[in-house]
Structure 1
Amino acid sequence: MAFSIAPEVADALAAARPVVALESTLLAHGLPSGRNRALAQQLGDAIRAEGGVPATIAVLDGTPTVGLSADQLDRVCAEGPALTKLSARDLGPAIALGRSGATTVAATSVLAHRAGIGVFATGGLGGVHLPAPGDAATWDVSADLGVLAATPIFVVCSGVKSVLDIAATLEVLEARSVPVLGYRTDDFPAFYLRSSGHRVPWRVDDPHDVAATVRAHREHATSGIVLANPVPPEHEMDRALHDRLLAEGLDRLREAGVSGSDVTPVLLEHFHTASGGASVATNEALVLANAKLAAQVAVTLSR
């Protein structure tokens, strides 16, 4: 089966130099056209500035591709939502049928691990969805959580979006033995907001402590690790605006009967259009901060 690793990424891995994986769903489905390509460049620049090598991942014409070239990034950003959103379960069919798609946290983690990359930066994890009106519980749980339980990948994120059941998400991570660390915080972030109101089990305050924790965990377990890095304070969304947009978005989801993997794109689109661009700016800022921190940890681990 074909598997493409960019020469720069392959050389860095062979020399045990720091590499940071990046997902492509953020570019194809998470940001408006134009801004997605600019952010792709900024993410690569931020990782390189810290001494790391960026490796954006996607499936292109049936080939898992680790480390997209400039032309390939152009393609992913231009095709945008027309690209299939690929989770881990979709990799086999997409590859076998020669399809192209943008990889989620789950699929990116699987392909990054196969390539030998142990550090991954993203915006937010998937999680446990809130039950539908009238239901006592839900079976709608992101594949991200199951993949993290089975894949020794270190993921820097800004928690999960506030549309999810955050308490249940943290319980699932605990049950799957996935450590959750808070970076310079005791609170688990909620993507656009620095605090979800839920505590993190462990706090770490510098990249060296993070790297030491990653090394120690990998000696005793095979699950992934989550480092929750709150959005920089100056880029946090106004809470009143956030709460209004979230309530409107949830109403829209209920009225349209949207569920499953369609929830996040619909909700993000509402935030983007109804916030006058505030949510896009917050999204970009937190992803950039996560990429920079992931590169710092990757550099420390490589030493």
Structure 2
Amino acid sequence: MKKIALIAGAILVATTCWAHLPEGLLRAAVQFPAGNEPIIDSNLADWDVVTDAYLITHEDLTETVTGLGTERDAADLALRGFVGWSPNTNKVYIMEDRYDDAVWVGDHTWDNVDGRGSGCSGNARDFLEIQIDGDHSGGQFNSWKDENLTQEEKDILHGQQAQGYGLRPNGRYAWHKTYEHALPPFGDAAFTCTNGPGEPGNFYAEYMYTPWNDLRWTDVPNSVQHTLTEGEIMGFNFTVLDSDTGGGYDGYWTLSGDTNSCHHADFLSDFLLTPIDPDIDWSSQNRGTAVEDNTWGQIKATFAE
């Protein structure tokens, strides 16, 4: 990680004027060597080799809607997460390993819309929102209130230069006019639950998305992708929605610390696209596909102590 720290320090000095949130913090996205990219199957074993230098937990999140702020409770919601990238596939990868005291995921009314999940059902209140601004250009990408814009203009701008995904375990719903860009070959997601609706349990998920500089929802295949490049900074955020009843959510836990990250890229976090980390033994990576149900057993106990 020494090389990564030096690069991060240099970039922080050079880019203070256009840093995002939280101010002064540059996180690291782990680079996957060619052939070591995660298999999107909800088995998190292929992330086990990634070191804690890249780890994101619930302690890094801030609740921005209900007033909880930094009053975190691992017995209610505990998280382990990683963000990665690959120059070989030009994809951003996200891992979510969550314990929740009442898991509400899925939505029977969706009839598994173009998605795939395992053992997940309920009212689709506990899910992850993801925002990606590949070229770190900032700007609004959703929810315009400007009356000077026509609805057609708003539709064109929706997700054009940054993209937001509202993901549910029985589908890959994106907050866009289309979700084509969230499906293969451009994106993918897989989920596994270990509990019934509203019960305490574990939720495992993997996500993979293409960054776009100019996404046109009417013509996704011919839209302009952003080329991920080592040493660059991308804008990124994820928000964990938490519901204890299956109705409205009881927590809106953001990585950036600002609710506006759901529609405006100026409020995303800064992630460095790191070089290959010599401290990671990629030769020992587990590429199995069997999902382990005890991933959170010991981890949750540690958080709750």
Higher relative contact order (CA 8 A, sep 6+): 2
| TM-score, normalised with respect to structure 2 | 0.26
The TM-score, its normalising length taken from structure 1, stands at 0.26
More strand by percentage: 2
**Greater share of helix residues, 1 or 2?**
1
